[in-house]
Amino acid sequence: MSKTPSGRRKESALSRERIVAEAVALLDEGGEPGLTFRALADRLATGAGAIYWHIDDKRDLLIAACDAIIASAVDAPASKTMPENRIRTIAGRLFDAMDAHPWIGGALTQAGGTLPAVRILESLGQQVQALGVPQKQQWSTTSALMSYITGVGGENAAHSQLARKQGFDRTSLLTEMSQTWAALDARAFPFTRQVSAQLPAHDDRADFLAGIDLILRGISASAQRHRR
């Protein structure tokens, strides 16, 4: 009877879920360039052919990895929660997911209309409906929310990843930037000079959620106008 070589698993033990989990680990370590079928096969102690049995190609793998993270992030809170709070919770979870997995922003761009993007659209759209937004405005409202969440969350993650790679200290970097802003021409950049002192201590996540609140207030005001 043949035996599996020491340190290697039988290919039959592979599952799509296990492959995706290892792909997420590779992406977290090296970003999208680090995700190769050779590296994945080494982690799984198997051949690339066994992986292709479950995964079509790298894009399929990237989208599946992205979907695994997004599915967990948009898992809706209890149904008794107000839709505004559900949107805040979903937005915060997605922000945290993109911060923890910076490659998600790029993956969502490639995902287009596939399942990860659809999950976000559906989770937000259901809450937009619950807010009483007229049907004709539901698409544009949900799209605006989704664009803000993925755009700002992805940008924040990219900045954080760059800072980590280059070994920047956040406080020192923002303090230096604040000093540069404060020294700008007062007539050309009055607002930038005014807010420069807030830069070192600002909280990216709090700023992000403040933006969500602004959007929600706009949605509420618009819904009220249409109900009159």
The length of the chain in residues reads 228
Give the pLDDT confidence score for residue 165 in this predicted structure. Answer: 73
Average pLDDT over residues 11-21: 81
Among 14, 111, 9, 4, CA closest to 62: 111
Query: Tokens representing 117?
Result: 């993007």
* Sign, CA torsion 154/156/157/163: positive
For the domain bounded by 9-55, which CATH number is listed? 1.10.10.60
The total of other beta-carbon atoms located within 10 Å of residue 98's CB is 27
Residue 12 has pLDDT above 60, yes or no: no
Give the pLDDT confidence score for residue 2 in this predicted structure. Answer: 36
Matching CATH topology for 9-55 and 56-227?
Answer: no
More confident residue, 120 or 2: 120
Fold of 56-227: Tetracycline Repressor; domain 2 (1.10.357)
Distance CA 84, CA 128 (A): 9
> What is the domain partition of the chain in residue ranges?
9-55, 56-227
Taking a C-beta distance cutoff of 8 angstroms, is the pair 104, 69 a contact? yes
What would the pLDDT profile of 146-202 be if each residue is shown by its tens digit?
999 999 998 988 887 777 777 778 788 889 999 999 999 999 999 999 999 999 888
- Mean pLDDT across the chain, nearest whole number? 87
More confident residue, 164 or 48: 48
Residue 121: band (very low, low, confident or very high) from pLDDT cuts 50, 70, 90: very high
